[in-house]
Amino acid sequence: MKETVYISGHQNPDTDSICAAIGYAEFKRKRNEYNAVPIRLGELSQETKYVLDYFNVPAPLFKDTMQPQVKDLKMDNAYCITPEISIMKALELINEHKIDSLPIIDYDENLVGVATLSNLTGSYIDVWDDNILGRSGTMVENIMDVLTADFIIKPQNPRPMNGKMVVHAMKPESTDGFIMENDIVITGDRKEAQEDAINKKVSLLIITGGLDLDKDLYDKALKNNVSVIHTDYTSFIAARILPQAVPVSHVMTKDELVFFHQEDYLDDVQHVMSNTRFRAYPVLDHQNKVIGSISRYHLLSNKKKKLILVDHNEKTQSIGDIEDAEIIEIVDHHRVANVSTFGPIFFRNEPVGSTSTIVSKMFFEHGIRPSRETAGILCAAIISDTLLFRSPTSTQVDAWVLERMAKIAGIDVEAFALDMFKAGTSIEGKTPQELLEQDVKAFSIEGETIRVAQVFTMDMEYLESVKKELITAMNKVIKENGENTFVLMLTDIFNETSIVLVAGDFTEEIAAAFDKPLVDNSFEEPGLLSRKKQMIPKLNFAISNAKA
């Protein structure tokens, strides 16, 4: 089984972040490297939802932590048994599979108990009374299995086995008041003993030594509904091992069961194990079906989850507990930032307009053809991140890759781009808070935390009408997060201009970096389209000068 690796874009994911993760996961799977699973760290934008729906591609799994979970362990197989299985059979399974316990499940496969090695061996130490078979509801099938017995008489309406175990070692006249109706009687081939037991309407007559029922007693046994079996064991051995036919339901642990679900975090598992003394613990899936078991030694072999970052390499933009993961690769088109790794990794960073351009190139370089759906979403990501080559981050490489991928996807680039931008830039019904959260990244500049959001739209008039509300919400966000500055780019794609709103520290300095006056915490900058290539360098310049 291939090792699982998660592929993640940044928080508040845009179309490139999502599509690059999905595309790179397909690339890895087609190279048979890993069980590659694309994940997302936030909600999908309108544009991304449109793209995935258009190409019928499912959204990546949402994940908000890289903490190791039970499902990440190589757990032991589950050998489940049902409650009526005999103690002897349960011990055979434990010895055969070299395990310490057996989960007990009902006919709906729900966990009802656990039979541990100590439960089963304890039954040999306990001195049970002679009514143990009746009291435990032992079935005749269990008795036959334990004694390796065969039926001689099998009535249509057998008597209930709710009496005691008796060895018929007396004269018949001495058994009155000793052998009762529905008892389980062990005897040899003495006809008078066999007949006495049948006359007393015992539930089961066990004939030992490989002997048979006297032929004259067949009809009487059937008439009295007495089941008769015979075994090759002697009467002594039969009486000795008969209690092993007791069902495991009689000895299993069924109160205060301790088990785990596959989604449980290992920190929580370790805490529970430290306060209990079981050797093994059942593991259940989301339907509460037993899928395996774990022990303390499983926690010793725990490894960090493997993670590949795409479209970012900045710690503040990644999953919150990234330290709990092992980063093995980074594929990105942004500046090299502050993500640290445990060892050397594969790192591919190119000055192109989209991470999906790099992922597409890797398909081409290795002679692997992406599926039509993957080609389609990679095209969409390139169009989105380069604003159909209006962004200054765009390169000839992006254009070449898009042209080639569009042929595989079977799309008209211009027509698709127009439909995608219309769907993605609609802001109808969105609150200021939602606008601030749909595409935002945090950057560390000169020790200051700067939050930069960008909203693409074709409806600048609406954004102008809610500008005051946006600035109020921006101030609230940086206060709650303990950040320094919030910059919001309101970008008109087709008119190629942005209105910039600034809140917090360095507002005047940021406007001055663009040679613009700051009016009501905002200014307009024609040609400003790219957060990465145009805004971030200006922020670096403004804050560095302010702190000089």
On whether both 120 and 258 belong to a single domain, the answer is: yes
**Lowest pLDDT segment from 24-28, 159-163, 334-338:** 334-338
CATH classification at residue 541:
3.10.310.20
Task: Give yes or no for residue 176 having a pLDDT over 90.
Answer: no
Nearest to 454 by CA among 500, 519, 518: 500
Assess whether pLDDT exceeds 70 at residue 302.
no
Distance separating alpha carbons of residues 224 and 286, to the nearest angstrom = 51
Please give the structure tokens belonging to residue 143. 């008795």
% of residues, the chain, pLDDT over 90? 64
Nearest to 207 by CA among 182, 235, 181, 183: 235
Residue that is last in its domain, among 393, 424, 455: 424
CA atoms within 13 A on the CB side of 127: 0
500 and 541 in a single domain? The answer is yes
143 and 199 assigned to the same domain: yes
List of residues 6+ apart from 421 with CB closer than 8 A: 47, 388, 456, 458, 493
Shared domain check, 133 and 60: no
Which candidate, 161, 135, 165, 164, places its Cα nearest to that of 251?
135
User: Which token pair is 406?
Assistant: 């569009």
Same domain, 388 and 343: yes
Say whether both 360 and 385 belong to one domain.
yes
Does 55 map to a domain?
yes
Q: Do the beta carbons of residue 436 and residue 474 sit within 8 Å?
A: yes
Number of folded domains that form the chain: 4
Same domain, 29 and 50: yes
Structure tokens at 281: 């613990």
Confidence band, pLDDT 50/70/90 cuts, at residue 127: low
* Token pair belonging to 153: 């008489």
The reply to whether 511 and 454 lie within a common domain is yes
Give 81-92 as a DSSP string.
B-TTSBHHHHHH
pLDDT surpasses 80 at 397 = yes
Domain boundary among the residues 397, 424, 451 is at 424
Is 79 among the domain residues? no
Q: Does residue 224 belong to any structural domain of this protein?
A: yes
Answer yes or no: is 379 within a domain.
Answer: yes
pLDDT value at residue 125: 62
For residue 73, being part of any structural domain is answered with no
**Highest-scoring range by mean pLDDT, 78-87, 213-222, 341-350, 372-381:** 372-381
Of residues 300 and 455, the one with the higher pLDDT is 455
pLDDT at position 143 over 90: yes
Q: Are residues 222 and 369 in the same domain?
A: no
* 10 and 58 fall within a common domain: yes
Whole-structure pTM value: 0.63
**Residue 506 domain-assigned?**
yes
Question: Are residues 408 and 348 part of one domain?
Answer: yes
Secondary structure of 423-448 in the HEC alphabet? HHCCCCCCCHHHHHHCCEEEEEECCE
CATH of the domain at 32: 3.90.1640.10
The pair of structure tokens assigned to 113 is 């108990």
Q: Are 147 and 231 in contact (CB under 8 A)?
A: yes
Instruction: Dump pLDDT digits (tens) for 402-454.
Output: 999 999 999 999 999 989 988 888 777 788 888 898 889 999 999 999 999 99
Of 404, 424, 444, the residue at which a domain comes to its end is 424
Q: Is residue 71 part of a domain?
A: no
Q: Are residues 420 and 457 in the same domain?
A: no
Residue 28, in any domain of the structure: yes
Q: DSSP string spanning 294-318?
A: E-HHHHHT--PEEEEEES---GGGS
Q: What is the DSSP string of 179-248?
A: S-TT-EEEE-S-HHHHHHHHHTT-SEEEE-TT----GGGHHHHHHTT-EEEE-SS-HHHHHHHGGGGSBG
Structural domain of 275: 87-124+250-300
The domain that contains 276 carries what CATH number? Answer: 3.10.580.10
* pLDDT at residue 1, rounded to an integer: 66
Burial of residue 61, with CB atoms counted within 10 A of its CB: 0-12 exposed, 13-18 middle, 19 or more buried: exposed
Backbone angles phi, psi at 479, to 5 degrees: -70, -45
> Alpha carbon of 438 to those of 182, 254, 282, 454: distances in Å?
76, 50, 42, 8
